[in-house]
Amino acid sequence: MGRVEGKVALVTGGSHGLGKAMAVLLAKEGAKVVITDIKDEEGEATAKEIGDAIYLHHDVAKEEEWEAVVAKTLDQFGRLDVLVNNAGVAMESKPEETSLEKWRWLMSINLDGVFLGTKHAILAMKKNNPSKGSIINLSSIEGLIGDPMLSCYNASKGGVRLYTKAVALYCAKNGLGIRVNSVHPGYIWTPMVEKLMADTVGIEEGRKQLAALHPIGDVGEPNDIAYGVLYLASDESKFVTGSELVIDGGYTAQ
């Protein structure tokens, strides 16, 4: 207990799934948590479940909403120590059939959202005395390897990976005390994935198929990723920046 005691953490897409697991664990380990999402009912419920947390409506593709969310965080808690850029979307698509509108929609959330969050988190973290913080960007195994039906998603998550490294170097070389790292989950058993399996091949068969993709023999759980985020949020990772934390049951080792 207390691995992030006294820190203020902002988690986007924090109302459910991976984001909820991260928010709950960070709060359990002592952080004051700001949950943002566009799913207001679920977000409010998660904040209430945590207790020492607030929920804010937030479209990560809009800069004015980032400005408002960060300002509210500073008003409420006086500082920002951790940003988890978790909000994201995915879609299957054939490259020659993908519309520019769909491409831009996905990029606006997965890539623009990370850019905007990182920008405004740095501005806030520079106000800490001393300047300090941890920015954690959720990429994916799909930011490391290609998938024939996920080209747009691959591009966005690959962009998150290299953007993270560049900003990590910028912060380090300018002595800002802000660490920036990316997390790359494999297939994780979330309510969304469970529903997808239920609607297609069935829950039992779906889990079996996904488990077979990972050498470790099972699908990941939300807390598998949340514990990685907790490590990067804590001072235990003070020597870690510009890194890729791959949590994928051996998927990309094949």
The pLDDT tens digits for 159-173 are 999 999 999 999 999
- The predicted pLDDT at position 16 comes to 94
| pLDDT at residue 214, as a whole number | 96
**How high is the pLDDT of residue 193?**
86
Pick the CATH number of 8-185+225-246 from 1.20.120.420, 3.30.70.260, 3.40.50.300, 3.40.50.720: 3.40.50.720
Distance CA(225)–CA(11), nearest Å, equals 13
For position 29, what pLDDT does the model report? 98
* Cα distances (angstroms) measured from residue 250 to each of 6, 166, 208, 212, 215: 34, 26, 16, 11, 5
Residue 220 main-chain phi, psi, to 5 deg: -75, 155
SS3 249: coil
| Cα–Cα dist 234/184, whole Å | 18
Can you tell me the distance from the alpha carbon of 33 to that of 9, in angstroms, rounded to the nearest whole number?
5
Residue 67 has a pLDDT of: 98
**Residues 224 and 188 sit within 8 Å (Cβ to Cβ):** yes
Identify the pLDDT of residue 97: 96
pLDDT < 70 stretches in the chain? none
**Active site (catalytic) residues:** 153
Q: How far apart are CA 34 and CA 55, in angstroms?
A: 6
Q: Determine the angle formed by the axes of helices 191-199 and 203-212, rounding to 10 degrees.
A: 110
Residue range(s) of every CATH 3.40.50.720 domain in the chain: 8-185+225-246
At residue 131, what is the residue type? S
